[in-house]
Structure 1
Amino acid sequence: MNKLYFLLVICIFIGCKKETPKIIPAVVKKTAPAIILTDERKVEIDTALIGTFKSETLKQFYNSSENKTVWGNLKKRTYVLSQLSKAEELGLDPEDYKSSTLKKFEDKITSLSDADLATYDILITYNFEKYLNHLYKGKLDPKKLYNDWDLEEKTFDVNNVLIKAFNKNKLDSVVDNIQSKAYIYKQLLKSLEIINTFPEDNIKNIESVDKIVLNDTNSALINIKKRLMYWQDMPKKDSLTKIYDQKTFESVKKFQERHGLASDGVIGVGTISALNYSKEKRKQQIIANLERWRWYNNDLAENYFIINIPDYSLNVVENQDTTLVRNVVVGTSKRKTPIITSMLRTVVFNPTWTVPPTILKEDVVPAMKRNRNYLANKNITIYDTAGNAVDPNNWNENKPGNYRYVQSPGYNNALGLMKILFPNHHSVYLHDTNHRNNFGRSNRSLSSGCVRVENPLELAEHILDDSEKWSKDRIDTIIASKKTTSIKITKKYALYQWYWTAWSKKNQLIFRADIYNLDSDLYAKLRN
């Protein structure tokens, strides 16, 4: 009894013991560094005027100057106005930053009243900070535009950057410093520069024609040749005949290669469509892609996989060197491959495949209603909620969602012999395929959202990076066993599964088909 009493006292003591209160860290409000003011003319700014802009950043900026004007220095002011006036060179619209309004203020700077000078000062700060924000992370928010763009939100302390540059008299470098250092971004800026050298084009649209092959005669060839000459794929010395001669044939192949088309010289629907893009449409495409690259990471990881969805390509980059290139198959326009930034985690050999809801609804159920052996023929087993295998003849077609559908491992598994997993909200991964002949096609927008990779076992061996533990022979043995085997990827690889349809290479413009029809809409929103 004494022991029981003692235990009861202990329990009461423990139950009543107060928890140590959690220390909640204080939220430190960011304050901008103080602005160093020179002796130029400066005036007091009414805080109510600052408040009309409804910008906390602007309020903090002028707190740092004790609510005095800061742009009295002509050199600093001139630099900002110059940058805003040539925003178009970076694919932005100068009027988004009130460039012409600011110029009007500047033209009468010596006669401005104190109130007008205060207004001018605020407008310079507000619009230059907006410009810097747009250059760093884009004008638009991809999460508000798309539900399948899974990118980390980019944060930017614009006051800190601007005030430091202001105080150190280094405003002339701030615009360059905040932009992406990625190679493709720089090549897109070069693309914009290149396309601006082209004259205005007034070539008639090429009417849709049957396929044209070498030595054919076709009246459409006159405008085709004009287009090829305009885009500098063909020398500008040609008789413009209706004959598809060898010189034109070679020029067409060059054009096709630049546009990611089958470079076979056959002029079909895809080639005609690409030829019919005007200079203005191509320029808009470049500007849309510049915006996308501002959404992406400014600094890429040391080692990474980068997938360009419209280019159907995967590059493995390690220490700034491309070590592997693979063709890939991506999602169709109805089942798009999502845009993702993530980290590679696991290689799975001999994966099983569980039929996802979309494929179940759109593909499997209709096929099963026609043929009850459809799944059995594909080595897919139906399981009920208790985990028991279900005979196809006993499958309830009115309640298909009550089952799991699992395909056994093997060469003909929908995921092939391997998949690579990475954290994401879309249940997608990289994987092999049982449709291996598709990698030879020029249009590879064929999957249900995941990315299928060519020669995946070589890729697995490369990233596992252990010639003793995970040699080719060892991987082959695992594959032969048909046993599902998961291996953690120990080397850190980022995954950039992104979308861009334009860039440049060796001063040549490169374009890809906008397979998800995103370019025109994005450009329209940018200029809205």
Structure 2
Amino acid sequence: MKKICIFVVLLFVVFMACKNSKKEVFEESEDYFDTIRKITIHAMPEDLLEDKSDSIRSFYKMFENHEIWVDRENREDLISQIEKTKNEGLNPEDYNINKIFQLELRKDSLQLEEQLAYDILLTQTYEKLCNHYYRGKFNPDEVYNNWDLFDKKLSVAKLLKESIDTKKIAPSIKGLLPTHPVYFSLKEALVEIDKLPNSKFDSIDKNLKIKFNDNLDVVKEIKKRLSYWKDLNPQDTLYTSKYDAKMLDAVKKFQSRHGLFADGVIGIGTIRALNCNKETRKGQILANLERWRWFSRNLGEKYILINLPDYELDYIVNKDTVAKHKIVCGRPQRMTPILSSKLSNFVFNPTWTVPPTIIKEDLSVEATANRNYFSRNRITIYKGTNTVVSPYEWNPEKAESYRYVQTPGYDNSLGVVKFNFPNHHSVYLHDTNHRDYFVYKYRALSSGCVRVQYPVVLAKMILEGQDNGRWKSIETIRKERAAKEAKLKQNKNYRPAKLTAEELEAKQKFLAEEKDEIDEIIAKKETYYIKVKQPIYIHQLYWTSWLDKKGLQFRDDIYNLDKTLYDKLGS
């Protein structure tokens, strides 16, 4: 027994020795004199770094454990970038601006240990600023559920080394910010809203309904707010209680900027927007700036971009918007997840397998009340893999143990086409049997997936840019023609030819045949898959504010995501 105890102790000692040996050993350095800059570069003592993060310690190791910010130009560049964080909707105080500014003023009189501590503070601030610019101040998973974005990896070490050596601190930091037009428009929106005087509005009664030519005292207050938001020119109106023609134009403009029906009728939606003050709207802009720092910097050459609160889908090819479609997204109780992915295939005439949430909350309730629910909705009940169950043999108490499949067709819940892409939430884009929903302004009405208006048109457009065996893309035809012409040019007698009538007819026939074949597939009502081979990315994102030629744009925060994030940013 004694021998066993000794053996265990020895094992423990060996284990701890191995473990400690893996820990990075601090290499002592010495001061040295830089003959070019004619300054002493000080070594960084271990005791100043021992409680710092692994990343900070590794940065100093790159510089052989010497101070990093020896050049005034680099320090001033960093300070300048910290001051400019307010232009990105961030607070310079989060990056120690006052402390750093005071230390910089006294740098020459600082004790050596204070100088080295200041150097570490600058390095920590540089790392923090780079990460916040590139990935955002917060991790989206710490703020929201149902977020599934592409990872954004950043090597701050490499960036720091290059920027210090080349004295390009500012470009290294600025280059990490989003480059998408929406982000730039949000920055402009922040400038515009800061021009407005601070406001505190009394709430207008949301139960009112005010129309053109009405004469009410509250109209005076509404005119003042329309003037405040620059929808109504104060010189064009008297602040009377009459709802006049100038006010009608202003109300329509205000409604349009808020994604409402621009009919001039002041109802609950318009009044809710009128009750928002500057602070609320600025908070919205700041939250949106932060979210755009979370999104991918490069959305792809070809991608589908969906803004859920604006209920719109854009198909973008080489930075050009080639198609716009209305969408229906998940209602607040069944939020559509925010995600980035890549299209994998189209399914024409899809079947629909009823998801668990709908089984629990919808199907089981309605089918229990009336078994004709299954035949009316063309739903087949399966037990196990392939055993069909009669609606009259179906057990409502075990509703969640069955599988329910709706047959293909125009009235299928997924319509006639479905866009698949990998994600952790079992969602996709699809057609719908509720095509009437697209006439509504408020379209957060689905069970989580995104429904697209005219999805077959979009599918055909995407397929025109794909090589799928029988579907040869227009781009490929052009490349083949260009290669043929390049070969012909080698002949000294070559004369460039215009597109012949035959070639033009062949091209038109190609497009017509491709589209006709898809229509034929749909007409057969048989499920058919087409792979998407060339990359088409899809980004289901969320932003509720921007600036365009019509002015500041705001949309309803349908999932209440703005205030949650704004409160966290301010904490």
So what's the TM-score if we normalise by structure 1? Answer: 0.90
Q: Indicate the residue corresponding to 2:48 in structure 1.
A: 49
Q: Indicate the residue corresponding to 1:236 in structure 2.
A: 234
Q: Which runs of 5+ in 1 are unaligned?
A: 1-28, 30-35
Q: Deviations over 1:286-307 (max 9, x none)?
A: 1111111111111121000000
Q: Indicate the residue corresponding to 1:493 in structure 2.
A: 536
Residue identity matched to 1:458: V
Residue identity matched to 2:47: A
Q: Indicate the residue corresponding to 2:447 in structure 1.
A: 448
Question: For 1:155, which of 150, 153, 156 is the aligned residue?
Answer: 153
Looking at structure 1, the residues matched to 147 and 385 of structure 2 have their Cα atoms a distance apart, in angstroms, of 36
Looking at structure 2, the residues matched to 262 and 90 of structure 1 have their Cα atoms a distance apart, in angstroms, of 32
Worse overlay, 471-480 or 415-424: 471-480
- Equivalent position SS for 1:383: strand
- Does 2:216 match 1:218? yes
- Equivalent position SS for 1:471: helix
Looking at structure 1, the residues matched to 165 and 436 of structure 2 have their Cα atoms a distance apart, in angstroms, of 61
Task: After TM superposition, give the deviation of residue 137 of structure 1 in Å.
Answer: 0.7
**CA 1:494 to 1:470, structure 2 compared with 1: closer, same or farther past 3 Å?**
farther
Asked whether the 8 Å contact 2:327–2:451 carries over to 1, the reply is yes
Q: Indicate the residue corresponding to 2:426 in structure 1.
A: 427
Asked whether the 8 Å contact 1:215–1:244 carries over to 2, the reply is yes
Q: Deviations over 1:227-273 (max 9, x none)?
A: 11111111122211111111111111111111111111111111111
Task: After TM superposition, give the deviation of residue 68 of structure 1 in Å.
Answer: 2.4
Q: Indicate the residue corresponding to 1:248 in structure 2.
A: 247
Question: For 2:564, which of 500, 511, 521 is the aligned residue?
Answer: 521
Looking at structure 2, the residues matched to 186 and 145 of structure 1 have their Cα atoms a distance apart, in angstroms, of 24
Q: Indicate the residue corresponding to 1:20 in structure 2.
A: none
Looking at structure 1, the residues matched to 263 and 165 of structure 2 have their Cα atoms a distance apart, in angstroms, of 59
Q: Deviations over 1:197-226 (max 9, x none)?
A: 222124433232421111112222222111
- Equivalent position SS for 2:333: coil
Q: Indicate the residue corresponding to 1:412 in structure 2.
A: 411
Q: Indicate the residue corresponding to 1:471 in structure 2.
A: 514
Q: Indicate the residue corresponding to 2:204 in structure 1.
A: 206
**CA 1:507 to 1:107, structure 2 compared with 1: closer, same or farther past 3 Å?**
farther
Task: After TM superposition, give the deviation of residue 469 of structure 1 in Å.
Answer: 8.6
Q: Indicate the residue corresponding to 1:370 in structure 2.
A: 369
Q: Indicate the residue corresponding to 1:15 in structure 2.
A: none
Q: Indicate the residue corresponding to 1:10 in structure 2.
A: none
- Equivalent position SS for 1:79: helix
- RMSD over aligned CA atoms reads 1.8
**Matches for 1:226-305 after TM superposition, within 5 Å:** 226-237=224-235, 238-305=237-304
Asked whether the 8 Å contact 1:463–1:491 carries over to 2, the reply is no
Q: Indicate the residue corresponding to 2:484 in structure 1.
A: none
Task: After TM superposition, give the deviation of residue 501 of structure 1 in Å.
Answer: 0.8
Instruction: Write 1 or 2 for the structure with the bigger share of helix.
Output: 2
**CA 1:480 to 1:290, structure 2 compared with 1: closer, same or farther past 3 Å?**
same
Task: After TM superposition, give the deviation of residue 502 of structure 1 in Å.
Answer: 1.1
Looking at structure 1, the residues matched to 46 and 184 of structure 2 have their Cα atoms a distance apart, in angstroms, of 40
Task: After TM superposition, give the deviation of residue 42 of structure 1 in Å.
Answer: 4.0
Looking at structure 1, the residues matched to 207 and 335 of structure 2 have their Cα atoms a distance apart, in angstroms, of 30
Q: Indicate the residue corresponding to 2:313 in structure 1.
A: 314
Residue identity matched to 1:347: F
Worse overlay, 498-507 or 315-324: 498-507
Worse overlay, 238-247 or 501-510: 501-510
**CA 1:64 to 1:221, structure 2 compared with 1: closer, same or farther past 3 Å?**
same
How many matched pairs? 493
Asked whether the 8 Å contact 2:81–2:170 carries over to 1, the reply is no
Task: After TM superposition, give the deviation of residue 43 of structure 1 in Å.
Answer: 3.0
Q: Indicate the residue corresponding to 1:134 in structure 2.
A: 132
Task: After TM superposition, give the deviation of residue 518 of structure 1 in Å.
Answer: 0.5
Asked whether the 8 Å contact 2:73–2:167 carries over to 1, the reply is no
Looking at structure 1, the residues matched to 512 and 347 of structure 2 have their Cα atoms a distance apart, in angstroms, of 15
Asked whether the 8 Å contact 2:127–2:156 carries over to 1, the reply is yes
- Does 2:151 match 1:145? no
Looking at structure 2, the residues matched to 451 and 116 of structure 1 have their Cα atoms a distance apart, in angstroms, of 57
Asked whether the 8 Å contact 2:257–2:550 carries over to 1, the reply is no
Residue identity matched to 2:253: K
Residue identity matched to 1:503: W
Looking at structure 1, the residues matched to 547 and 72 of structure 2 have their Cα atoms a distance apart, in angstroms, of 37
Q: Deviations over 1:114-144 (max 9, x none)?
A: 1111111111111122011100111111123
Residue identity matched to 2:266: I
**Matches for 1:303-382 after TM superposition, within 5 Å:** 303-382=302-381
Q: Deviations over 1:476-524 (max 9, x none)?
A: 2112211111111233211111111111113721111110001111111
Residue identity matched to 1:456: P
Looking at structure 2, the residues matched to 292 and 108 of structure 1 have their Cα atoms a distance apart, in angstroms, of 38
Looking at structure 2, the residues matched to 413 and 321 of structure 1 have their Cα atoms a distance apart, in angstroms, of 33
Residue identity matched to 2:140: P
Worse overlay, 512-521 or 487-496: 487-496
Looking at structure 2, the residues matched to 148 and 217 of structure 1 have their Cα atoms a distance apart, in angstroms, of 48
Looking at structure 2, the residues matched to 72 and 404 of structure 1 have their Cα atoms a distance apart, in angstroms, of 68
Looking at structure 1, the residues matched to 41 and 562 of structure 2 have their Cα atoms a distance apart, in angstroms, of 45
**Matches for 1:103-182 after TM superposition, within 5 Å:** 103-182=101-180
Looking at structure 2, the residues matched to 309 and 118 of structure 1 have their Cα atoms a distance apart, in angstroms, of 49
Asked whether the 8 Å contact 2:201–2:275 carries over to 1, the reply is no
- Equivalent position SS for 2:441: coil
- Equivalent position SS for 1:420: strand
Worse overlay, 394-403 or 506-515: 506-515
Looking at structure 1, the residues matched to 406 and 299 of structure 2 have their Cα atoms a distance apart, in angstroms, of 37
Task: After TM superposition, give the deviation of residue 103 of structure 1 in Å.
Answer: 1.8
Q: Indicate the residue corresponding to 2:481 in structure 1.
A: none
Looking at structure 1, the residues matched to 263 and 41 of structure 2 have their Cα atoms a distance apart, in angstroms, of 68
Looking at structure 1, the residues matched to 541 and 453 of structure 2 have their Cα atoms a distance apart, in angstroms, of 18
Asked whether the 8 Å contact 1:464–1:490 carries over to 2, the reply is no
Looking at structure 1, the residues matched to 196 and 40 of structure 2 have their Cα atoms a distance apart, in angstroms, of 45
Q: Indicate the residue corresponding to 2:525 in structure 1.
A: 482
Asked whether the 8 Å contact 2:340–2:539 carries over to 1, the reply is yes
Looking at structure 2, the residues matched to 508 and 324 of structure 1 have their Cα atoms a distance apart, in angstroms, of 23
- Equivalent position SS for 1:476: helix
Looking at structure 2, the residues matched to 209 and 349 of structure 1 have their Cα atoms a distance apart, in angstroms, of 46
**CA 1:288 to 1:405, structure 2 compared with 1: closer, same or farther past 3 Å?**
same
